[in-house]
Structure 1
Amino acid sequence: MALVVAAICVFASVSVSPAPVASSAGAHEVVTWGASADRVGDALPDRSYRLIVRTSAAGTGARIRLSNAFGDRPITFGSTYAGIRKVGAALVPGSNRRLTFGGSRSVTVAAGQTVHSDPLPGRLPAAAALVVSLHVAQAGGPATGHGMAMQTSYTTSGDHAAEEGAAGWTERTGSWYYLDAVTVRASPGTGAVVALGDSITDGWQSSTGLDRRWPDYLARRLQATDSTAIKGVANEGISGNKVLADGAGQSALNRLQRDVLSHPGVRTVFLFEGVNDIKAHSGVTAQDMIAGYREIVDRAHAAGKCVVGATIAPFKGWHEWDAEAEAVRRQINEFIRTSGEFDAVTDFDRTLRSPYDSERMLPSFDGGDHLHPNDKGMQAMADSVAIDSLTCHRRRS
């Protein structure tokens, strides 16, 4: 209840006229939510989307980033609003506020580009159920978004973005459309970690709508401790994603700049990816993977970011497991643990594996397919991350 009351104060008690987005000296922009972009079907005109997301870092002057990264023609957003969720598609009364872009109520985003909104006056708390409502006025070709949101959002025909009630939102969707980041102006020193990964990071087999992906559990730990200034968490997982090759989304190498390094306030890149590269008969070697990891580390370090490497979890019992893939997994994990090329290491392999068969996930953590952890496994992963490992002493870009 306290969070709802605080949320009402965020958008209901502020003027819609321009106002300073932060008063503390040294406040700076930090990503508070993110989701990797990909193609998500066709872009439809005169369509509205009500997208439910969960913030991490608190701050003022919230801005959203709209993406047309995979579009082949311009897309025009006729109206855009941000509010606080009450239940379902309904918003807390008085919380829905119009967003502008360079002072304009509408914005056209060129093919392949992104755009940030103007800052929204008021404060956005941590763990807020933020609702971004978009009306797409003109569109065609491929749509950009995030396919597997593990969250129910809403869509409808026509422009319903300004409405706070749920009646006009007639359809449900399990994807996020066009929205790929939310940022805030946070207190001095506040930073963020970006989780770069695949379907495990994306949250498959966790409970839909309950924010039980491992980065969600990590965000709750970060909010609960005073021992770190890392408060923002952006989940940049894509189901089926690979480090080296495009397929289910662009490869980690090809999307690193857009999905990770372009976000403000990022201190640390948490790299947990590779199982999709090495699954049965892929022909990918440990040396291939090590070269890919090294490129990600080098590019992140060049941008002044710390890099935490996570070992690849066991997946025996998954239909693409074989002894050859297992041998490559073990070689990669040895590199991650011992090479010294990462600023820190989190051993998800050790956290999730069975003590009776190190090639298998512990049954109590298994979501049922022997590859993806359940809610309990997701929490165990987050709990195994050493909070102080998310900070190192690199020059910030």
Structure 2
Amino acid sequence: MRARSTRVRRMLAVLLVAACAPAAPASAHSSGSRHDVITWGASADRLGDAVADRSYRLVVRTSVAGDDLRIRLSNAFGDRPVTFDSVYAGLRRQGAALVHDSNRRLTFGGARFVTVPAGATAYSDPLPGRLPAATDLVISLHTPDAAGPATGHGMAMQTSYTARGDHTAEEDGTNWTDPTGSWFYLDAVSVRTSAATGAVVALGDSITDGWASTTDTDRRWPDYLARRLQKADTTVKGVADEGISGNKVLADGAGRSALNRLQQDVLSHPGVRTVFLFEGVNDLKAHTGVMAQDLIAGYRQIVDRAHAAGECVVGATVAPFKGWPEWDPAAETVRQEVNAFIRDSGEFDAVTDFDRILRSPYDHERILPFFDGGDHLHPNDKGMQAMADAVDLRALDCGP
């Protein structure tokens, strides 16, 4: 449970933010007893060169149900404006094919197109109607003039589709002949629901991103967590998976560092109540001289910034990885020191001990073979489920 000193510090930070914060943006609109909550998210990163006159049919899985769907398009890593001249939202029937009469046009400020400046994002207008939980939502978009660096999420663990020309309005999958394992330009989906309903954002690396889980089955650990939350007596229903393969807490590389992307990938999302921080193994196994005190300082910055935004932070211990080529006793020593801080410092509002859940009882430095995805670092589907099952759902249902 949270330490008293943490509660006091967070309450003061929340009061300070409330006094100084600007008016809420349109992307987080609320009215009376209802507000926006993120139902899906994926961290934006660079995705190579953009392609003009290309359509993308992106398959994503919702978590919380709600009305008035909105999407966020990202050009965060572009070096020039990108125009989306046709954007639709529908429900998937099978493959690239949609449920009949489910495909509906999205608008932006009342227009059928939007131009997103380099480094910026854009929210769609609310789309009237109900979006169920645990649904395969399909966002189809067309870029007539895209060029330069593309923005998106590289390791989706979900098959989406691309096509030449504009086929966004089509409900059948005939012209969507090119599968892709990435999500392009789309980085968030939100819905409007009860103001009592909140969301949790999982901030992490490739384990959170789902590597070694089975593609197209939604078996990342945040997916299993979302299924638990749907059945539980809790007001936290939304889950956003903001993992990036290879990501570090302190240094840019595989995506911006957790510190540098915290605002965009976590704090900017509507309805977030809790940040679930599970990251650090890439910092310590990279042998760049990162010590326990360095990672701890990074964690503290994330906790302080989240608390200042009125959000709780659950810290997760760094999982074992002996057998991975970069493992050595020095990195293991740092891991043990970092985990001791996460468990015992009282600086997190709650702790989930993934280390104890995943490690072998015969060698605490190794992942249990039953949970091992094959490389001694990434859990398989069973390991992902065990991680989600270890999360205390009451710890996510917190607030200022």
Q: TM-score range by the shorter chain?
A: over 0.9
Question: How far off is 1:138 after superposition?
Answer: 1.2
Q: How far is 1:170 from its partner?
A: 1.2
Q: Note if contact 2:34-2:192 (Cα within 8 Å) is conserved in structure 1.
A: yes
The correspondence for 1:295, drawn from 301, 304, 309, is: 301
- Partner amino acid, structure 2, of 1:246: D
- Greater Cα offset, 276-285 or 348-357: 276-285
Partner of 2:204: 197
Residues 23 and 357 of structure 1, relative CA distance in 2, 3 Å threshold = closer
Q: Secondary structure at the match of 1:138?
A: coil
Q: Deviations over 1:133-182 (max 9, x none)?
A: 00011111100000000000000110000000000101000000000000
TM-score (norm 1): 0.93
Q: How far apart are the structure 1 equivalents of 2:241 and 2:198?
A: 15
Picking from 307, 310, 319, the partner of 1:313 is 319
- Is the counterpart of residue 387 in structure 1 residue 389 in structure 2? no
1:356 Cα offset (Å): 0.3
TM-aligned CA deviation for residue 29 of structure 1: 0.2
Equivalent of 2:238 in 212, 215, 232: 232
Structure 2: tracts of 5 or more residues without a match: 1-28
User: Displacement of 1:368 after TM fit?
Assistant: 0.2
Structure 1 letter corresponding to 2:98: L
Aligned amino acid, residue 136 of structure 1:
T
2:40 maps to what in 1?
Answer: 33
Give the conservation status (yes or no) of the 8 Å contact 1:308–1:390: yes
8 A contact 2:311–2:399 mirrored in 1: no
Q: Does residue 1:42 correspond to 2:46, yes or no?
A: no
> What pairs with 1:248-263 in structure 2 (closer than 5 Å)?
248-263=254-269
The alignment partner of 1:217 has SS state of helix
1:142 equivalent to 2:115? Answer no
CA contact (8 A) 1:84 1:131 kept: yes
216, 221, 243: which one aligns with 1:214? 221
1:278 to 275, 284, 293: 284
Query: How far, CA to CA, are the matches of 1:202 and 1:176 in structure 2?
Result: 13
> Are 2:94 and 1:124 equivalent residues in the alignment?
no
Pairing partner for 1:359 from 351, 354, 365 = 365
Q: Distance in 2 between matches of 1:37 and 1:106?
A: 21
Q: Quick one: which of 97, 100, 105 aligns to 2:104?
A: 97
For 2:160, give the aligned amino acid. S
- Equivalent residues of 1:32, 1:232 under 8 A apart: yes
Distance 1:213 1:199 in 2: 10
State the match for 1:60 in structure 2. Answer: 67
* Number of residue equivalences: 372
Cα deviation 1:42-81 (Å, max 9, x = unaligned):
1111000000000001000000000000000000001000
Does residue 324 of structure 2 align to residue 323 of structure 1?
no
| Runs of 4+ residues deviating >3 angstroms | 22-25
Q: What is the CA–CA distance in structure 2 between the aligned matches of 1:251 and 1:115, rounded to whole Å? A: 23
Aligned to 1:80: 87
What is the one-letter code of the residue matched to 2:364?
Answer: S
CA distance in 2, matches of 1:31, 1:145: 18
Q: Which amino acid aligns with 1:159?
A: D
Show structure 1 runs of 5+ residues with no match: 1-21
Shift of 1:242: 0.1
Query: 1:173-205, CA deviations, whole angstroms, 9 ceiling, x for partnerless residues?
Result: 000000000000011300000000000000000
Q: Which residue of 1 aligns with 2:3?
A: none
The aligned amino acid for 2:59 is I
Kindly tell me: are residues 304 and 377 of structure 1, through their superposed partners in 2, closer, same or farther at Cα, counting changes over 3 Å? same
d(CA) in 1 for partners of 2:228, 2:167:
36
TM-score (ref. length: structure 2): 0.92
Q: 2:399 & 2:86 partners in 1: Cα distance?
A: 42
Alpha-carbon distance in 2 for matches of 1:289, 1:23: 37
Which residue is equivalent to 2:173?
A: 166
**Per-residue deviation at 1:282?**
2.4
Aligned partners of 2:144 and 2:240: how far apart in 1? 28
Is this contact kept in 2: 1:31–1:183, CA < 8 A?
yes
SS in 1 for 2:85: strand
